[in-house]
Chain A
Amino acid sequence: MITAAQQLESYLGSFSRLEKQAAWSGLSWWRKLREDAFARFTEVGFPTPHDEDWRFTNVSAIAQTPFQLAGKESGRVSPEDLERWRVPGAACQLVFVNGRFSSELSRTGKLPAGVTASSLAEQFTKDPKVLELHLGRYLDIRRDAFSALNTAFTADGAYVHIPKGVVAGDPIYLLFVSTGNNEPLMTHPRNLIVAEEESQASVVEDYVSLNAGAAFCNTVTELVAGDSSVIAHYMIEREDPQAFNVSTLRIQQGRSANVASHSVLLGGGLVRNNVHPVLAGEGAECLINGLFIGNGRQHLDNYMLVEHASPHCDSRQFYNGILDGRARGVFHGRIVVHKDAQKTDAKQTNRNLLLSDDAQIDTKPQLEIYADDVKCTHGATIGQIEENALFYLRSRGIDEVSARKILLLAFANECLDRMKQDSVRTYLEALMNRHLFQVANSVPVARTDRGEDQGRNWEELG
C-alpha cells in the first residue's frame, strides 16, 4: 500500500519521464492537452464511492497499488504465445504488448486499399495532422480521473482510419497483451478509430493476460463515425483475475451513422466498462450490447452514458449479466436527451442471472430528458435459472450440467444474436460455449441421490 503523496510523486515521475521519450514530444497541441489532463488528475485524484458515478465500485485497490508505467521493452512475448488468441478471418491483427505496438507480432495483410490500421505512436511521428483533427477532441478529461490519466500517459495504441465510402468487410483485430510481471505495471492504451462518411468496418479490441499478476490497464478509444458510416466495435475483456481494467469507449456519431458497440466481459478482477456514445448527427442509430459473466470475486461494472444531441436518433441498450460465486456486477445506464433532440427513441434493458446466493448485481437506470417529444423506456430484471426450463431439458435426456450450460448459453445468445453474423461472432460463440461450460460445471448440482436415513426423500431444487 502507498500513500496518496507517494503515489502522486510516482505518477509525476512517470509523467515527466514519458515526455522525454514519447513519439509526440515535439507536438505542442498534445503536450498542452496532456498537461491539462495531468493537472486535472492531480486535482481530483481517483474517484471514491462518494462519487455518484462510482457508487458501486471502489477503486482504492488501484490507487493503493504502486503501479509502474510500462516502458518500451517491458515484456517478452513470442509468436507461439499468441496462437490461442488468433482470430480466424480477421483482416489484420495488431498486437500491443503492455500497451506498445509490436510490429514483429502483428499481422497485416488483407486490408482494403486506403485503410490504415497502425500504431498511434507511429502516426504521431509520420503524420500527426490527421490525429490533431480528432485525438482528444471527444473524450472529456474532466469526466473522470481515468480519462485524464490515460491522456496524461498516452504512449501508444491503435490508429485506424477508413476512408470515405470504403467497406472493410473483415474485422480489424487489436490484441492487447498484458504480460504480467512481478512488478505491477500500468498501461494506458489510446486508440483512435476514424471512419469517414459512408464507410463500413468492424474493429475488435481484445484484452488478455499472458501470466497471472496484478496489472492495471486503463484504455481509451475514441471512435469517430462519420455521416452514414456503419461501424461495429467489439470489446472483449478476458484478463487474469488479478487484473484491473478500466476502458472508455467514446463514440462520436455523425448524421445517420450507425454504430454497434458490443462488450463481452469474462475476465479481469476489477473491471469498469464505460461506453459513451454521443448521437450528434440527425438520424444516428446506436446499439449498445453487452454481456458480462463474473465468477469468484470478480467485480464487473458497466457504465453507459448515451447522449442524444440531435433529433430522430435511436439508441438501444441491452446488457445481460451472469454472476456466480461472490461476483458483483453493476449496470449503470444513463440516457441524456438534450433540448433539441426531438423524436428521440431510446431503450434500455438490463437482464441478470444470479447463480449463487452471494452474487450481487446493482442496476441503475438514469434518464435525463430535456426535450418534450421523445420515447424513452428502461427495464431491469434479476432472476435465477428457471427450474421449469431445467427440468424440461433434463426430461429430454440432457444431464443437469449440460442443461444448465444450454440455459446459460440461451441467455448469452440474446447478446450474441445482436451481433452481425461474421467471423467475430463465430469466434465469440465458441469462446462462450467453453466459458459457460465451466460456469455450469461450477454450480453445485442439486442432490438427487437418496440418503439412507431419508427413505424416499427428494430435495426440492433451489
Chain B
Amino acid sequence: MSLLEIKNLHVKVESHEILKGINLTVNSGELHSIMGPNGSGKSTLAQVLARRENYLVTAGEILYDGKDLLSLKPEEAAAEGIFMAFQYPVEIPGITNVYFLRSALNAVRKHRALEEMDAMDFLPMFREKMKLLEMDEKLMNRSVNEGFSGGEKKRNEILQMAVLEPKLAILDETDSGLDIDALKIVAKGVNALRSVERSMIVVTHYQRLLNYIVPDFVHVLVNGRIVRSGGPELALELEEKGYVDAERQALAV
C-alpha cells in the first residue's frame, strides 16, 4: 500500500487558486523531489501536507497511511508521522531548543501510546543526534532558532526530524540560503535518516541539493500542476535547460 496518495488536489489561498489538480503517489521508503520555479505552488503543497490551516482545499483528497489527511489537525498529522522541515524556521525566544524538542517528542510518544521520555533518557539521545548534524551543543540550551545562522536553523530542522522519527518527511527548500559546507552536512543528516520505513518529499528550486540527496523520482511542478515526472536524470536536464521548457509544456496543457 502506498504511504501517501494525493488525488486531484485543488487549493486556494485568499481566492487565488495555487494548486490545480495535483496527483502524486509516494510509497514507503521512496524519496520524491518536487522541483519548480518560484510561485509554482511547491511550498503550498508542503504546507497543506503539514496541515497548515489557512489553505482552502476546494477539491481532491489526500490519503496518508489509508487515513484522510485533510481531517487531521497539524499536531495529529505530526503524531501520525508527518514532519515538515520549514523553509523559514520560526524563532521562539524564551523557549530552549531542548525543552521544545522534548515537549514535541513526548507529545508524539503520548499519541503513539509510548511512555514519556524523561530528561535522563532524552539528553543522551539528543546529544547523539546533534553530533550527526555537527551542531554545537551550546545550541541545545539556546532559545529555539533565536540568533541561529541560516545553516544552523536548517540543521536544527533536520535535528528535529532525527528526534521525531517521522514516516513521511517533507523538506521545504531546506537547501535555500546554505553554503556548500552547510548543504553537505544537511544532506549527510538527511541521508542518514533514509530508510525503507521512511518516505521523503524534497521540495527544491535548484538541482544542487539533489547531487547530495539522490531522489528516486523527480516531479516538475509548474503553475499548480505536475507537468513532468521522471528519475534523477530529470533534475539534471532541468538544471541545464531551466524551467522554460517545462513552463511551455504547462501552458500547452
Contact = CB atoms under 8 A, between A and B. Distances in A.
Interface of A: 386-389, 391-400, 402-403, 406-407, 409-414, 417, 446, 448, 450, 456-461
B75 interface: yes
9 contacts: A391-B52, A392-B90, A393-B104, A396-B100, A403-B75, A411-B94, A450-B71, A456-B57, A461-B54
Contacts of B108: 396-397
B73 A394 contact: yes
A461 B90 contact: no
Given A396-B104, A400-B73, A458 B55 contact: yes
Interface string B70-87: 110111011100011010
Given A396-B164, A457-B56, A459-B53, A391 B92 contact: no
Given A391-B74, A458-B53, A402 B103 contact: yes
B93 A397 contact: no
A412 B94 CA distance: 8
Contact of B73 (A417, A448, A457): A448
A457 B89 CA distance: 26
B94 A410 contact: yes
A392 B89 contact: yes
Nearest to B79: A397
Interface in B27-61: 50-59
Contact of A413 (B89, B90, B95): B95
B73 A410 contact: no
B111 interface: yes
Contact of A395 (B57, B78, B111): B78
Contact of B70 (A386, A414, A456, A460): A456
B160 interface: yes
A410 B97 CA distance: 12
Contacts of B107: 396-399, 402
A36 B141 CA distance: 55
SS of B interface (majority): mixed
Contacts of B83: 395-396
Given A391-B74, A406-B92, A414-B94, 7 more contacts: A386-B90, A391-B52, A392-B86, A395-B83, A406-B103, A407-B92, A413-B95
Contacts of A417: 94
Interface string B217-233: 00000000000000000
Nearest to B160: A396
A409 B94 contact: yes
Contact of B78 (A397, A400, A410, A456): A397
Contacts of A414: 93-94
Contacts of B59: 456
Given A394-B75, A395-B78, A397-B78, A458 B90 contact: no
A388 B47 CA distance: 12
B67 to A, nearest CB: 14
B73 A406 contact: no
Contacts of A398: 75, 103-104, 107
Interface string B99-126: 0110111011001000000000000000
Contacts of A461: 53-54
A393 B102 CA distance: 12
A397 B75 contact: yes
Contacts of B70: 456
Across the A-B interface, the 7 shortest Cβ-Cβ residue pairs? A410-B94, A397-B78, A396-B104, A413-B94, A394-B74, A397-B108, A392-B90
B108 to A, nearest CB: 4
A456 B143 CA distance: 37
Nearest to B163: A396
A397 B94 contact: no
B51 A395 contact: yes
A398 B76 CA distance: 9
B90 A388 contact: yes
Given A399-B107, A450-B71, A461-B53, A394 B78 contact: yes
Contacts of B160: 396
A395 to B, nearest CB: 5
B153 to A, nearest CB: 12
Contacts of A450: 71
A171 B78 CA distance: 44
B89 A406 contact: no
B243 to A, nearest CB: 29
A428 B16 CA distance: 48
A417 B143 CA distance: 12
A406 B164 CA distance: 19
Nearest to A415: B94
A206 B110 CA distance: 37
Contacts of A412: 94
A167 to B, nearest CB: 28
Nearest to A446: B53
Nearest to A403: B75
Contacts of B54: 387, 458, 460-461
B193 to A, nearest CB: 16
B179 to A, nearest CB: 24
Contacts of B94: 409-414, 417
Given A397-B107, A458-B57, A460-B53, A389 B74 contact: no
B13 to A, nearest CB: 10
Interface centre among A386, A412, A413, A446 (most CB of B within 10 A): A413
A399 B95 contact: no
Nearest to B111: A397
B226 to A, nearest CB: 20
